[in-house]
Structure 1
Amino acid sequence: MKCTKSIIILGIESSCDDTAVSIMINQEVISNIIIHQTIHKQYGGIVPELAAREHDKYLFSTVNKAINIANIHRSQIHAVSVTIGPGLIGSLLVGYSFAKSFSMGLNIPIIGVNHIHAHILSHFINNANLNNSFPKFPFLCLMISGAHTQIIQVNDFFDMNILGTTLDDSIGESLDKIARLLGFSYPGAMWLDKNSKLGNNKKFHFSKPNVKGLNFSFSGLKTQIDRFIKNQLKINTNFIKNNLHNLCASIQKIISEILIEKIILAIQQTNIFRIVLAGGVSANSEITKQFLLLKKHNIEIFIPKKQYTTDNGAMIAIVGLFKLKKKLFNINQPFSKFTPWF
């Protein structure tokens, strides 16, 4: 590794359907490119084989573009940081294979990064959250995305414990499926959020899942909403059309209440009053609004800026930076030998 005060990391994220590449110098993002795959819309969900092919199609050009925007030469890069899971195995292997070749060609370390870990530590990218400051340890992270719903106690950069997780569907998956019931195309969660802003969130009431402790369950709520809508459509075929905004607002309200109740329980159990949101669903307007209200109760809230809620290369690069500094890597380590961070 080159000896210099400035450490340059190439971050590659390809765990699902976003091809994301970033160049980071220390904790500052210099370039951050995200290619959103649109091919999956026609199928109503992500097709793993197509996702892998799309990554293979765009990754090389995306890396070159990120390097050009950063105005550096690839020989200046100190390490390549890449997602190794969780995620779609085909997509992960495309990203890892490229990173492996890149690292071998330049004789620099390849650093495997856990996707969830990266979402959490994205808050340590300069100006990555609404507070424009880094959260102090320890803190509780509410990880909410298309594939994950977890409450994680974060004691240090590499000392984390899962306190609660979903027992079935993730929150993001549930929102997309509920949005489909309302007639929105995939991905529908953002349309549900947008339409909720025009509705009355007290118009319709749904019961919360009875799940003990800090775990979550959303399949029952999804089924409850499905049955409610089908019963109403038997009475009035225009029910959804006439009540779309109110339905969206009421659904977002119950989802937010579930998250708030669980995080308050986690605070009571841990006595940690510092909350960090991470993952794509943390961009949801109602969830953001309700969590910011917790500040009235002397609870610190850290919410990522929109560009760092979705999957991105910068969050992979920041973990790579911390691992490089602590020498938590083996140069050119094979994919099968990487171990989980939990």
Structure 2
Amino acid sequence: MSFPVILAIESSCDDTSAAVMAGGEILANVVATQQVHEQYGGVVPELASRAHQQHLIPVVTEALRRAKVEKSDLDAVAFTQGPGLLGSLLVGGMFAKSFALALNKPLIAVNHMRAHILAHFIRPPRPVFPFLCLTVSGGHTQLVVVRSPMDMEVVGQTIDDAAGEAFDKTAKLLGLPYPGGPHLDRQAREGNPTRFPFPVGAMPGYDFSFSGLKTSVLYFLRQQTAQNPDFIAQNLSDLCAGIQHTIIQTLLRQLVRAATDLGLTQIALAGGVAANSGLRTALQNLAGEKGWEVFIPDFEFCTDNAAMVAMTGHFQFEAGDFATQLVSPDPRLKLS
């Protein structure tokens, strides 16, 4: 078996995941989702923490079984240090620290946002350094220049809400089930994206803003439903298409600006919102116009998963970047 063999734990939000990687190759990636949040229309931190406690041992056991790896075969244990929900991070972090301590194995603390970017290296095709990565998720929206696995620079980010939050919150205004983003994406495929235009957040430099879009949608729907209570139901696909079009145009406008100014043509897309079909299609079309080479991870590696934590742990293992038992979860951990 190739080395190093790494067990990775991901528990930053509401997905509990464990993965096993050997010599940079994924042997197993197990994810347990939490259905309990659907009735609340969003993630409830306390319930997420309790669900992680229930799911961690089963997903780790299953990951080791699928990988055909014994605990004694492991060379290190990697875990998500942050950013994320504090309670969720504590559960995963304490488990990883205890597991590593009991086996006398090195511990690797992984930045969740770095892991999303390095998910591109789990399977080919892989981008060539340096490249520009647009990372879009429920909690973050960033433009990152990636010079190596250990050298990344955030050149642009949201000043308020993340793109994923904009998808989910506007979907909730439309009465779509949780999580709203995927439902909005499916409805948008049948709609006219220009029938209901919404304002694109204008920001200097490479930063993003999505709070204005949410406010605009809220007031527009209030005005229209006051005149016609069935307005949303009668125009749902066009409303979804208009909202999605606006979010995508906001993202791509800043991406084009950064890529042009920095002279980068290797473009990567990462994070949960990278699974959005409208964004994928728009980026591929733009790449044809700009002469870019675009990289998007497989769907299973876009959303939160431990395989990306294992990939990052692999690079940190090679660099000798280990943590001590004193390391603490950090819900506001920065990418550096």
The interval holding the TM-score normalised by the smaller chain is over 0.9
TM-score (norm 2): 0.96
Shift of residue 25, structure 1, vs aligned partner: 1.4
Give the Cα–Cα distance (whole angstroms) in 1 for the partners of residues 42 and 25 of structure 2: 34
Q: Which of 38, 57, 66 in structure 2 is aligned with 1:41?
A: 38
SS in 2 for 1:336: coil
What is the root-mean-square deviation of aligned Cα atoms in Å?
A: 1.4
1:189 match: 181
Q: What is the total number of aligned residue pairs between the two structures?
A: 333
Q: Which of 181, 192, 197 in structure 2 is aligned with 1:200?
A: 192
TM-score (norm 1): 0.94
2:71 match: 74
8 Å CA contact 1:158–1:341 kept in 2: the answer is no
Alignment-mate amino acid for residue 79 of structure 1:
A
Shift of residue 156, structure 1, vs aligned partner: 1.0
Change beyond 3 A, Cα 1:337–1:72: closer
1:218 aligns with 2:210: yes
> Unaligned 5+ residue runs, structure 1?
none
Shift of residue 5, structure 1, vs aligned partner: 4.1
8 Å CA contact 1:9–1:321 kept in 2: the answer is yes
Alignment-mate amino acid for residue 223 of structure 2:
N
1:148 match: 140
After TM superposition, list the pairs within 5 Å mapping 1:226-245 onto structure 2: 226-245=218-237
1:170 match: 162
1:133 aligns with 2:133: no
8 Å CA contact 2:83–2:334 kept in 1: the answer is no
SS in 1 for 2:96: helix
Shift of residue 340, structure 1, vs aligned partner: 5.4
Give the Cα–Cα distance (whole angstroms) in 1 for the partners of residues 319 and 10 of structure 2: 21
After TM superposition, list the pairs within 5 Å mapping 1:1-342 onto structure 2: 5-125=2-122, 127=123, 132-296=124-288, 297-330=290-323, 332-336=324-328, 342=336
Change beyond 3 A, Cα 1:340–1:112: farther
Alignment-mate amino acid for residue 307 of structure 2:
A
Shift of residue 194, structure 1, vs aligned partner: 0.7
User: Any idea what the Cα deviations from partners look like across 1:220-252, whole Å, max 9, x if unmatched?
Assistant: 011111111111112211111111111111111
Give the Cα–Cα distance (whole angstroms) in 2 for the partners of residues 187 and 340 of structure 1: 26
Which shows bigger deviation, 104-113 or 293-302? 293-302
Q: Which runs of 4+ in 1 moved over 6 A?
A: none
Percentage identity across paired residues of the two chains: 44
User: Any idea what the Cα deviations from partners look like across 1:34-55, whole Å, max 9, x if unmatched?
Assistant: 1111111111211111111110
User: Any idea what the Cα deviations from partners look like across 1:90-144, whole Å, max 9, x if unmatched?
Assistant: 111111111111111111101000000000001111x2xxxx3111111111010
